[in-house]
Structure 1
Amino acid sequence: MEEVKLIGSSPSLFCTRVEWALRLKGVKYEYIKEDLRNKSDLLLKSNPVYKKVPVLLINHNSIAESLIILEYIDDSWKHYPLLPQDPFERAQARFWAKFADDKCLMGTWTACMAEGEEKVRAIESVQESFAFIEKQIEGKKFFGGEEIGFLDLGIGWICLWLNVMEEVGGMKLLDPEKFPCLHNWAQNFIKIPVIHQFLPPRDDLLNYFKASLNYIQSLAAGKP
């Protein structure tokens, strides 16, 4: 029998998407909570390249990077398939998940930290990226069709983390009138019991992002 462990941290959206996948698949696993301010020897040994969570341990073999972990989970446990069967659709799901991480998620954090004209430009850039995602969900309940799948889990951070970053950054990125399909998708997604039950408390996320922003700003202020 495979021994499955997940090294993670509750504020991390990357860890949460892995937990969602494991729960949807019905995989039993042990959750190992990581203190990212004092990283454990287990984490450093399991992910020596990036030294970050999440890391999935399978019989002491380690797999890092959340989207790669999602694919591993889908290949290993066939119940509740996450990726489409059609090769083209599988490729599209992978592409847009990576796009959402690189452009939407990282762009949101950039906008959160920025000020003045830089913030305005960052917000415009993120909204341009969200417009591409909006087109992918038009006419569908979920990106995976009638059931949530790989891309839904990849973009699942929109249902909570985005709102928190909007508050911390004093901005509005996902206007329901401008992005009605994405807004409706987020409302449907968060209602799914497995998704809702494994969301971290909003106040914890808010405190986490405020502390992260303050830390980064303090480092920037200290530069010569």
Structure 2
Amino acid sequence: MAEVKLFGCWYSPYSRRVEMALKLKGVEYEYIEEDLSNKSPLLLKYNPIHKKVPVLLHNGKPIAESSIIIEYIDETWEGPSILPKDPYERAMARFWVKFIDEKCAVGMLKACTSSGEEGEKAKKEAAQLIQFLEEELKGKKFFGGDNIGLVDISANFIGYWFGIIQELKGQELLTKEKFPNFCEWVNEYVNNKFIKENLPLKDKMIEILKAFL
């Protein structure tokens, strides 16, 4: 059997993405929890450039960056497809993952952590970003259609983590009135049996996020 290890952190949405991909494919793996305030020599050895989790180790060969790891998992193991088969749809899935990581997650976090005039501006900008996702989800259950796919897994921060941050900050950036399609996706996502089993416990996340915020 191929040796598979995952260096991760339980509260990291990026680590959780990779765990979901491994479990969707039915891959057996050893999970190694990292203390991000005191990173292990092995993590630094296997990811010397970014020095971050997650890192997948397959037969002694390390792969870093969650979206790259997920694609590798999808191409390496049998099981349900995570990326679409159609080349155009695969390209679009990659586009939305990049948009979520580089635009949405950053903008939504800024909207919740900024105050005053800067905070109001950040909220407007975040709302504009979410509107793009709102349009993309029109007529869909998930980004991948009827089934969980690459974009859904990659949007876990805005589907779960961000909701807890909003609660802690007493804000309501995402409302059903403004974003009905997006909010319906969030509801489907967090209540999906597979997803629910692979999300960190809310009480534990509240403790971590309180310290972060």
The reply to whether TM is greater than 0.5 is yes
The residue number in structure 1 matching 2:175 is: 175
Q: What's the CA shift string for 1:73-111, capped at 9, x where partnerless?
A: 111113100111111111000001110111111112222
Query: Aligned partners of 1:40, 1:199: CA distance in 2, in Å?
Result: 24
Find the residue that maps to 1:160 and give its secondary structure.
Answer: helix
Query: Aligned partners of 1:9, 1:27: CA distance in 2, in Å?
Result: 19
> How many angstroms does 1:63 deviate by?
0.8
Is 1:27 matched up with 2:27? yes
> How many angstroms does 1:164 deviate by?
1.4
The residue number in structure 2 matching 1:104 is: 104
> How many angstroms does 1:170 deviate by?
3.5
Give unmatched runs, 5+ long, in structure 1: 214-224
Give unmatched runs, 5+ long, in structure 2: none
Find the residue that maps to 1:70 and give its secondary structure.
Answer: helix
Is 1:205 matched up with 2:205? yes
> How many angstroms does 1:157 deviate by?
2.3
> How many angstroms does 1:156 deviate by?
2.3
The residue number in structure 1 matching 2:121 is: 121
Query: Aligned partners of 2:169, 2:99: CA distance in 1, in Å?
Result: 22
Paired residues for 1:122-137 under 5 Å: 122-137=122-137
Paired residues for 1:1-224 under 5 Å: 1-213=1-213
- Quote the RMSD (CA, aligned, Å): 1.2
Query: Aligned partners of 1:128, 1:30: CA distance in 2, in Å?
Result: 40
> How many angstroms does 1:59 deviate by?
1.3
Contact 1:141 1:188 in 2 (8 A): yes
Query: Aligned partners of 2:170, 2:188: CA distance in 1, in Å?
Result: 25
Which deviates further from its counterpart, 187-196 or 54-63?
187-196
Aligned residues with identical type, % of pairs:
49
Query: Aligned partners of 1:11, 1:78: CA distance in 2, in Å?
Result: 28
Query: Aligned partners of 2:137, 2:14: CA distance in 1, in Å?
Result: 21
Contact 2:109 2:162 in 1 (8 A): no
Count residues with an aligned counterpart: 213
Query: Aligned partners of 1:192, 1:22: CA distance in 2, in Å?
Result: 17
Query: Aligned partners of 2:159, 2:100: CA distance in 1, in Å?
Result: 14
Q: Which amino acid aligns with 1:140?
A: K
Q: What's the CA shift string for 1:36-86, capped at 9, x where partnerless?
A: 111111111111111111111111211111111111111111310011111
Contact 1:23 1:194 in 2 (8 A): no
Query: Aligned partners of 2:68, 2:120: CA distance in 1, in Å?
Result: 33
TM-score computed with the length of structure 2 as normaliser: 0.96
Find the residue that maps to 1:158 and give its secondary structure.
Answer: helix
Find the residue that maps to 1:147 and give its secondary structure.
Answer: coil
